[in-house]
């Protein structure tokens, strides 16, 4: 790009800046450049970004999202390491910077196959959700019947791991669809393998969120102090989780889900129509808003 | 070489009107030799057929490809009118009841609706004044051919590739198609006015355009799309005679583009069949010319016969038929 270009001062500028819900925590060192106010500058998408988003990412690698984030948030140097608590806010901000603050969402009416369209103000959404990294409770302690405690430190997953998991789950689902036809299983072995993979995925996603595990006996003796960064410890962390009582495993999973849900954008309360109620919908409901799907881009003319 | 064709229409092109030129051009009817241009696959594919027709009917245009694209549909409409083909027959398809039925368009009614005003109107983006101008028919053709290739490949992979390979390939092709669209926009920008200065350097304009936000680019694209629309025939908006639903259809007079569009969904066998059919139709024209030459007993040369218009042909055919009838009645030998 030439510096002599007389149009230089009309090049893309930040349209807005946001406070990241993570406040920059959980990013690799030196991979985040915030402005003087400690906010992340957001630029509008270019036509090239728009093309990428509209043509989708058939490999589910998240490559498209990373490229668009790199283009619209130059302050994020390693977009694939964005913690999951920040993804929605960043995408919402890019959407506002590119197409304005009025966004039409297609909401699935709970307990039915119906959908409804809702228009929301993106700026109000950003303002209304006062995210804070302190919302994320990173520790969970489980005490067994013998008084032995298992203390875990949990982290939000980075974006590349979320996409890798989505891809795996999609592939497993495809394999299952292939072997299940007309309610009969054509290949028992493939069926069993994919079911087992789905279980493994759930374990893997939980393991990937664990930063450390500390096991202390009822006599305060530390029998294990495992840290994720240490490759030897990582193997042991996986073994601990795999061998864990299902009740404890579920407790960790629930804790992670609860943390994640604190950072989720929600619709306003919706009142069901008589038709929706007749189809099984509750009278009032609200639902999670997602920015990765078809609602992200306005309709193409 | 003598031509039977005589001036039929005098027209000022749309871009000339915008530039204040009023001299205009004399437009002649299409001739028998032009019929070949409509039936030569290579010529249709590379868009040369349009140039051949324009050159033949508007002899003062030396390089038709260098005309601005805003004139193309208007010129073709003028040529149709000059060739006594002002009533175009199209087959409309009702999407709802799947019925096809013929619809006639009277071109004379639409001649005043063509306008190139939008092509010469600047676009204002904040402090920037984006000046645009219609690219040439040559440039437009290059884009149209590239777009055809992408569309054909998309059609091919949708028929022959498995899902796993199809999606990444389709993504690549769709990106290419979108990029072509933006490149056409960029080619339409001639200069950008900023702070009283005019930036005409292509590399500066491209630098600015490449990093432009999607809204700014879409504003330019919408303007150009509207400009293209205004230089074309208005959309047909009629009621289906069977199910009464509204049928909307656009009419394109660029027969090269229509040919390429037809090819997109065709199988290899269909394409070969179409080429064969075109070849046979060309032979038929030559055969008919030879019959006329024989019947005219040397009064016409081959070149002169090729320059006959369809009306001339009609008249000569009538004379020949009359002669055959007379000789048959009088039982004279037909030599």
A107-139 residue pLDDT tens: 999 999 999 999 999 999 888 776 666 788 999
- Disruptive mutation site among B128, B167, B171, B189 for chain A (greatest number of A CBs within 10 Å): B171
Strand partners, B136: B68
Q: Would you state the structure tokens that stand for residue B208, as one six-digit string?
A: 């600015």
In this predicted model, which residue has the larger pLDDT, A299 or B227? B227
Q: Measure the CA–CA gap between B317 and B293, rounded to whole angstroms.
A: 11
Place of tokens 């999202």: A65
CA distance readout (Å), A46 to A264, B144, B178, B202, B224: 27, 24, 13, 19, 18
> What is the complex's ipTM, to 2 decimals?
0.72
Digit-coded pLDDT (tens) for A155-209: 999 999 988 888 888 888 888 888 887 778 778 888 888 888 888 888 888 888 9
**Count of C-beta atoms within a 10 Å radius of residue A244:** 17
Mean pLDDT for all residues in chain A: 87
Average confidence (pLDDT) over B77-104: 85
b/e map of B59-69 (b: 16 or more CB within 10 Å)?
eebeebbebbb
When pLDDT is cut at 50, 70 and 90, the band that residue B1 belongs to is very low
pLDDT at B220: 96
pLDDT at A225: 92
pLDDT at B326: 85
- Residue A30 region by backbone torsions, left for phi larger than 0, else alpha for psi between -120 and 50, else beta: left
CA distance readout (Å), A62 to A43, A72, A165, A166: 20, 15, 11, 10
CA distance readout (Å), A41 to A12, A49, A72, A82, A122: 12, 17, 8, 15, 16
Nearest alpha-carbon partner for B313 in B297, B296, B330, B331 = B296
In this predicted model, which residue has the larger pLDDT, A87 or A186? A87
Digit-coded pLDDT (tens) for B258-271: 999 999 989 999 99
**Count of C-beta atoms within a 10 Å radius of residue B119:** 25
Strand partners, B129: B124, B193
Nearest alpha-carbon partner for B232 in B134, B145, B139 = B134
Q: Measure the CA–CA gap between A148 and B103, rounded to whole angstroms.
A: 85
Q: Find the closest chain B residue to A2 by CA distance.
A: B204
Is residue B50 packed enough to be buried (19+ CB in 10 Å), middle (13-18) or exposed (0-12)?
Answer: buried
pLDDT at B2: 46
Q: Would you state the structure tokens that stand for residue B137, as one six-digit string?
A: 């028919």
Residues from B in contact with A at Cβ < 8 Å: 126-128, 167-168, 170-171, 174-175, 178-179, 182, 192, 194-195, 197, 199, 203-205, 207-208, 210-215, 217-218, 222
Decide: helix, strand or coil at residue A271: strand
**Count of C-beta atoms within a 10 Å radius of residue A186:** 11
Shortest distance between the Cα of A44 and any Cα of chain B, in A, equals: 5
Contact A20, A81 (CB under 8 A): no
Percentage of the residues of chain B whose pLDDT score is greater than 70: 98
Contact A113, A276 (CB under 8 A): no
Percentage of the residues of chain A whose pLDDT score is greater than 90: 41
pLDDT at B94: 81
Percentage of the residues of chain B whose pLDDT score is greater than 90: 59
Contact B262, B152 (CB under 8 A): no
Pairing of strands A102-108, A115-121: antiparallel
* Res. B3: pLDDT tops 60: no
Average confidence (pLDDT) over A142-161: 90
pLDDT at A294: 65
Digit-coded pLDDT (tens) for A10-46: 898 999 999 999 889 999 999 999 999 999 999 999 9
User: Which residues make Cβ contacts (< 8 Å) with residue A277, sequence separation at least 6?
Assistant: A283
User: Which residues make Cβ contacts (< 8 Å) with residue B55, sequence separation at least 6?
Assistant: B61, B62, B64
Shortest distance between the Cα of B27 and any Cα of chain A, in A, equals: 38
* Res. A281: pLDDT tops 50: yes
Q: Euclidean distance between the first and final Cα of chain A, in Å?
A: 31
Digit-coded pLDDT (tens) for B60-76: 999 999 999 999 999 99
Contact B190, B121 (CB under 8 A): no
Nearest alpha-carbon partner for B49 in B226, B213, B254 = B254
Chain B residues with CB under 8 Å of A58 CB are: 167-168, 170-171
Determine the longest span between alpha carbons in chain A, in angstroms. 75
pLDDT at A135: 80
Determine the longest span between alpha carbons in chain B, in angstroms. 88
* Res. A57: pLDDT tops 80: no
Nearest CB to B214 within list A11, A49, A58: A49
Digit-coded pLDDT (tens) for B230-240: 999 988 888 88
Average confidence (pLDDT) over B154-171: 87
> Does the beta-carbon distance from A47 to B217 stay under 8 Å?
yes
Place of tokens 């500066």: B204
Backbone torsions φ then ψ of A268, nearest 5 degrees: -70, 165
Strand partners, A104: A119
Q: Would you state the structure tokens that stand for residue B294, as one six-digit string?
A: 């024989």
Q: What is the 3-state secondary structure (H, E, C) of chain B?
A: CCCCCCCCEEECCHHHHHCCCCCCEEECCCEHHHHHHCCCHHHHHCCHHHHHHHHHHCCCCCCHHHCEHHHHHHHHHHHHHHCCCCEEEEEEECCCCCCEEEEEEEHHHCHHHCCCHHHHCCEEECCEEEEECCCEHHHHHHHHHHHHHHHHHHHHHHHHCCHHHHHHHHHHHHHHHHHHHHHHHHHHEEEEEECCEEECCHHHHHHHHHHCEHHHHHHHHHHHHHHHHHCCCCCEEEECCCCCCEEEECCCCCHHHHHHHHHHCCCHHHHHHHHHHHHHHHHHHHHHHHHHHHHCCCCCCHHHHHCCEHHHHHHHHHHHHHHHHHHHHHCCCCC
Contact A213, A252 (CB under 8 A): no
Nearest CB to B214 within list A5, A6, A46: A46
In this predicted model, which residue has the larger pLDDT, B240 or B186? B186
């Amino acid at each position: 790009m030439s510096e002599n270009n007389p149009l230089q001062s009309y090049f893309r500028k930040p349209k807005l800046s946001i406070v990241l819900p993570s406040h920059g925590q959980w990013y690799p060192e030196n991979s985040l450049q915030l402005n003087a106010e400690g906010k992340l500058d957001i630029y509008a998408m270019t036509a090239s970004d728009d093309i990428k988003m509209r043509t989708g990412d058939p490999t589910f690698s998240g490559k498209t999202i990373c490229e668009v984030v790199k283009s619209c948030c130059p302050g994020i140097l390693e977009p694939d390491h964005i913690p999951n608590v920040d993804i929605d806010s960043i995408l919402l901000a890019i959407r506002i910077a590119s197409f304005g603050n009025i966004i039409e969402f297609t909401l699935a009416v709970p307990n039915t196959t119906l959908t409804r369209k809702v228009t929301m103000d993106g700026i109000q959404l950003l303002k209304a959700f006062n995210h804070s990294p302190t919302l994320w409770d990173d520790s969970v302690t489980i005490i067994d019947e013998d008084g032995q405690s298992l203390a875990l430190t949990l982290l939000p997953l980075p974006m590349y791991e979320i996409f890798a998991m989505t891809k795996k789950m999609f592939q497993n689902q495809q394999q299952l669809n292939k072997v299940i036809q007309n309610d009969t299983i054509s290949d028992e072995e493939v069926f069993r393998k994919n079911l087992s993979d789905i279980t493994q995925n759930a374990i893997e996603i939980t393991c990937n969120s664990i930063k450390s595990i500390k096991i202390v006996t009822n006599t305060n003796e530390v029998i294990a102090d495992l840290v994720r960064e240490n490759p030897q410890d990582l193997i042991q962390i996986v073994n601990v989780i795999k061998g864990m009582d299902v009740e404890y495993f579920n407790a960790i999973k629930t804790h992670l889900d609860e943390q994640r849900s604190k950072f989720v954008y929600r619709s306003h309360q919706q009142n069901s129509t008589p038709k929706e109620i007749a189809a099984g919908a509750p009278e009032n409901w609200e639902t999670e808003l997602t920015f990765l799907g078809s609602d992200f881009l306005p309709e193409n003319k | 070489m003598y031509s039977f064709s005589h001036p039929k229409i005098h027209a000022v092109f749309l871009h000339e009107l915008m530039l204040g030129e009023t001299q205009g051009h004399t437009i002649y009817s299409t001739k028998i030799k032009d019929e070949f241009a409509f039936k030569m696959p290579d010529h249709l594919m590379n868009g040369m057929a349009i140039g051949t027709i324009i050159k033949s009917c508007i002899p003062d245009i030396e390089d038709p490809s260098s005309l601005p694209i805003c004139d193309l549909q208007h010129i073709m409409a003028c040529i149709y009118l000059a060739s006594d083909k002002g009533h175009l027959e199209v087959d409309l398809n009702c999407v709802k009841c799947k019925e096809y039925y013929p619809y006639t368009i009277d071109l004379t009614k639409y001649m005043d609706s063509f306008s190139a005003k939008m092509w010469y109107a600047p676009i204002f983006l904040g402090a920037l004044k984006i000046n645009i101008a219609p690219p040439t028919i040559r440039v437009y053709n290059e884009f149209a051919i590239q777009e055809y290739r992408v569309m054909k490949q998309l059609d091919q992979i949708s028929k022959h590739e498995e899902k796993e390979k199809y999606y990444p390939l389709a993504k690549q092709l769709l990106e290419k198609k979108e990029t072509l669209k933006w490149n056409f926009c960029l080619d339409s920008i001639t200069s950008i006015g900023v702070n009283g200065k005019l930036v005409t350097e292509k590399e500066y304009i491209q630098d600015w355009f490449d990093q432009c936000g999607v809204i700014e680019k879409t504003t330019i694209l919408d303007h150009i799309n509207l400009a293209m629309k205004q230089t074309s025939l208005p959309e047909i908006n009629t009621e289906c005679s069977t199910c009464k639903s509204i049928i909307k259809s656009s009419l394109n007079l660029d027969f090269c583009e229509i040919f390429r569009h037809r090819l997109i969904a065709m199988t290899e066998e269909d394409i070969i069949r179409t080429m064969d059919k075109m070849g046979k139709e060309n032979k038929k024209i030559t055969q008919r010319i030879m019959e006329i030459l024989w019947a005219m007993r040397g009064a016409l040369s081959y070149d002169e016969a090729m320059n006959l218009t369809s009306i001339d042909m009609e008249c000569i055919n009538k004379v020949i038929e009359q002669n055959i009838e007379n000789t048959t009645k009088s039982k004279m030998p037909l030599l």
